[in-house]
């Protein structure tokens, strides 16, 4: 996708200090890393809404998709509603729901990268009631095609 970059407006909450803006880890990164703005301790079986200290405003016709970081998942930290969606009209703080799979605790410090975001163009759709019609049918779902 060549061309000019879309501008996503970022505002620190509470006139916050110099918070870490979403940034690519490398030039080839597909997504921008989101960082925690406060310390959080994750424990097994609990979901913590980890704050980023940021509010965002996407350009018209777009929204942000929040995705987990593979480095965290390999350490037992999972994003609960992956991928998440930040609608264009949401005006609150971006928070990331994380949980921990292992016994003990996992500590997140301010500035730790906790998720990734990417800007997505909306695909307007119209849903209409009607007959679906014949298709090559496969109804097993949830892993029915094998491994």
> What confidence tens digit (pLDDT) does each residue in 56-89 have?
999 999 999 999 999 999 999 999 999 999 999 9
Domain with residues 9-121, CATH architecture: Distorted Sandwich (2.70)
C-alpha to C-alpha distance for 94 and 117, rounded to whole angstroms:
11
pLDDT-derived band at 132, boundaries 50, 70, 90? confident
Q: What does the pLDDT look like over 2-13, one tens digit per residue? A: 568 888 988 888
Name the nearest CA neighbour of 56 among 8, 16, 17.
8
Structure-token pair, residue 95: 């928070």
pTM, entire model: 0.83
The HSE-up count of residue 117 (CA atoms within 13 Å, CB side) is 22
Whole-angstrom CA distances from 120 to 2, 15, 100, 139 are: 15, 27, 28, 30
pLDDT-derived band at 1, boundaries 50, 70, 90? very low
């Amino acid at each position: 996708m060549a061309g000019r970059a879309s501008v996503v407006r970022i505002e620190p909450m509470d006139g916050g200090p110099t918070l870490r803006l979403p940034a690519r880890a490398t030039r080839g990164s597909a997504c921008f890393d989101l960082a925690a703005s406060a310390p959080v301790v994750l424990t097994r079986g609990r979901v913590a809404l980890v704050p980023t200290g940021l509010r965002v405003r996407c350009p018209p016709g777009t929204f942000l998709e929040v995705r987990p970081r593979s480095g965290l998942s390999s350490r037992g930290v999972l994003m609960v509603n992956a991928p998440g969606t930040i609608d264009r009209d949401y005006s609150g703080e971006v928070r990331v729901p994380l949980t921990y799979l292992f016994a003990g605790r996992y500590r997140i410090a301010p500035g730790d990268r906790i998720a990734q975001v990417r800007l997505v163009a909306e695909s307007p759709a119209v849903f209409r009631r009607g007959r679906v019609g014949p298709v090559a049918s496969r109804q097993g779902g949830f892993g029915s095609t094998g491994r």
